[in-house]
C-alpha cells in the first residue's frame, strides 16, 4: 500500500504538515509513504488555452503538474492537509485545482483512491469555506473522501494535541479501514452527496448544495432536521456521469469556439486598441 500526503501550506512544521505526518506515522509499517508540499512545486496558473481538451490531450504548460499527478496516480491512498486563508482553503490548492481541467477525462487513472483531509483554521468561527474548498480539490482529483475534519489551531503544534490529535488518529484509522459513512460532527447537517456544509434552503422545503448541486427535501424526524436525498441520483458534480458530461461539454464548447472564431475575433477587435492598463515599472 502506498500513501501520499499532500500539504498546501507555506509554513514549515506548521499545523497542516504536522497533522499529515501524524496520520502517516500511524499507518502500518509496511506502507510506503511520500509527501508533497504544493507550495514547493513550480505550478503556473491555468491559462485557459483549452489545449488539454479533448480526452487524449495533455496540459501544454511545462511545469511540475505532471510530477504531482504521477505521484497521485502511483498512490493507493491520499491524505491532504491545508489551512484556512481568508475564509477559504489555501491558495496553492486552488492554483493546482484549476489545472485539473486537464484531467477531467482521466477518471480511470485516479478512481478508487481513498482520501482523508484535515483543514486547520486559527480563529473561532472563521473557517469559512475551508472544508468546501478541500472537498472540491479532492473530488476534482477523482478521490473518494472517506473522512475529514476541520480543526481549530491558533499556533503551530496545536494540530497534534488534545482533541485535534484524537481526530487525527480517527482519520488514520479511516484511511486504513474506510468507515461506511464519513464521520459527522454532532448536530451538523452536511450535503449527503459531497459532505459540504454550503446548503441553500428553499421556501418550498427543498435544499440545494452550492458545491455539488445535489438536491433533496428537508425532513424532520422526531423533532430533528435532516436532508433527504436520492442515493441513486447521479445528477450532481463529482459523479462519474457528471465528469463525463463536463468533458463532453468542454469538447463541444471548444469545437463551437473553433467554428466561430472569426466572429469572436470581430467582436474582440473593437476592444483591441483600448488601453487603460496600468502596470508596475520593472527595474532592469
Ligand atoms: C494570510 C493568512 C490568512 C488566514 N486566514 C484565516 C482565516 O480566514 N480564518 C482562520 O480561522 N484562520 C486564518 N488564518 C490562520 C491559519 O489558518 C492558521 O494559523 C492555521 O493553523 C495555519 O496552518 P498551517 O500552520 O498549516 O499553515 C490565516 C493565516 C494567514 C497567514
Cα 53 to ligand 1 centroid, rounded to whole Å = 35
**Which residues in the chain show pLDDT less than 70?**
none
Return the closest-CA partner of residue 78 out of 145, 22, 134: 145
Cα 121 to ligand 1 centroid, rounded to whole Å = 5
**CATH code of domain 2-183:** 3.40.50.360
Q: What is the pLDDT of residue 220?
A: 93
Q: What is the pLDDT of residue 189?
A: 93
Cα 234 to ligand 1 centroid, rounded to whole Å = 35
Q: Which ligand 1 atom sits closest to the C-alpha of 19?
A: 26
Q: Are 122 and 188 within 8 A, CB to CB? A: no
Q: Which ligand 1 atom sits closest to the C-alpha of 16?
A: 26
pLDDT digits (tens, 9 = 90+) for 74-126: 999 999 999 999 999 999 999 999 999 999 888 888 888 999 999 999 999 99
Angstrom distance (rounded) from CA 263 to CA 248: 23
What is the number of residues in the chain? 284
Q: Which ligand 1 atom sits closest to the C-alpha of 18?
A: 26
Angstrom distance (rounded) from CA 126 to CA 135: 17
Angstrom distance (rounded) from CA 269 to CA 261: 12
Cα 205 to ligand 1 centroid, rounded to whole Å = 36
Cα 12 to ligand 1 centroid, rounded to whole Å = 13
N- to C-terminal Cα distance for the chain? Answer: 51
Q: What is the pLDDT of residue 239?
A: 87
Helix, strand, or coil here: 144? strand
Mutate which of 10, 17, 87, 122 for ligand 1? The one with the most ligand atoms within 8 Å of its CB, which is: 122
Cα 85 to ligand 1 centroid, rounded to whole Å = 5
Q: What is the pLDDT of residue 235?
A: 86
Q: What is the pLDDT of residue 167?
A: 97
Omega cis (within 30) before 104? no
How much is the pTM?
0.96
Mutate which of 8, 12, 83 for ligand 1? The one with the most ligand atoms within 8 Å of its CB, which is: 83
Helix axes of 130-140 and 91-98: crossing angle, nearest 10 degrees? 30
Return the closest-CA partner of residue 80 out of 7, 161, 188: 7
| Ligand 1 pocket by Cβ (under 6 Å) | 9, 11, 14-16, 83-87, 120-123, 126-128, 153, 156
Angstrom distance (rounded) from CA 112 to CA 76: 8
Cα 222 from chain centroid? 35
Cα 104 to ligand 1 centroid, rounded to whole Å = 30
**Residue 79 is inside which H or E element, if any?**
strand 77-85
Going by C-beta distance under 8 Å and a sequence separation of 6 or more, which residues neighbour residue 15? Answer: 9, 81, 83, 120, 151, 153, 156, 157, 158, 159, 160
Q: Which ligand 1 atom sits closest to the C-alpha of 10?
A: 27
Residue nearest to atom 8 of ligand 1 (CA): 86
Amino acid at each position: 500500500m502506498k500513501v501520499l500526503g499532500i500539504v498546501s501550506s507555506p509554513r514549515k512544521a506548521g499545523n497542516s504538515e504536522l497533522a499529515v505526518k501524524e496520520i502517516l506515522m500511524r499507518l502500518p509499517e509496511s506502507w510506503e509513504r511520500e509527501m508533497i508540499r504544493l507550495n514547493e512545486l513550480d505550478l503556473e496558473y491555468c491559462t485557459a488555452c483549452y489545449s488539454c481538451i479533448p480526452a487524449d490531450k495533455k496540459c501544454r504548460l511545462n511545469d511540475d503538474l505532471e510530477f504531482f499527478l504521477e505521484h497521485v496516480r502511483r498512490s493507493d491512498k491520499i491524505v491532504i492537509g491545508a489551512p484556512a486563508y481568508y475564509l477559504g482553503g489555501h491558495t496553492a490548492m486552488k492554483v493546482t485545482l484549476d489545472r485539473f481541467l486537464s484531467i477531467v477525462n482521466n477518471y480511470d487513472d485516479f478512481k478508487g483512491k481513498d482520501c482523508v483531509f484535515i483543514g486547520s483554521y486559527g480563529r473561532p468561527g472563521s473557517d469559512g469555506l475551508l472544508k468546501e474548498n478541500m472537498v472540491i480539490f479532492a473530488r476534482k482529483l477523482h478521490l473518494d473522501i472517506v473522512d475529514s475534519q476541520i480543526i481549530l489551531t491558533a499556533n503551530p503544534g496545536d494540530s497534534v494535541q488534545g482533541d485535534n490529535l484524537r481526530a487525527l488518529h480517527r482519520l488514520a484509522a479511516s484511511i486504513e479501514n474506510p468507515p461506511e459513512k464519513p464521520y459527522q460532527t454532532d448536530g451538523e447537517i452536511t450535503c449527503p452527496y459531497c459532505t459540504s456544509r454550503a446548503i441553500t434552503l428553499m421556501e418550498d422545503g427543498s435544499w440545494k448544495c452550492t458545491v455539488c448541486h445535489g438536491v433533496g427535501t428537508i425532513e424532520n424526524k422526531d423533532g430533528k432536521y435532516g436532508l433527504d436525498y436520492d442515493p441513486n441520483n447521479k445528477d450532481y458534480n463529482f459523479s462519474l456521469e457528471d465528469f463525463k458530461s463536463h468533458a463532453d461539454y468542454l469538447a463541444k464548447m471548444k469545437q463551437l469556439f473553433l467554428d466561430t472564431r472569426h466572429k469572436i475575433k470581430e467582436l474582440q477587435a473593437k476592444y483591441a486598441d483600448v488601453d487603460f492598463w496600468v502596470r508596475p515599472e520593472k527595474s532592469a
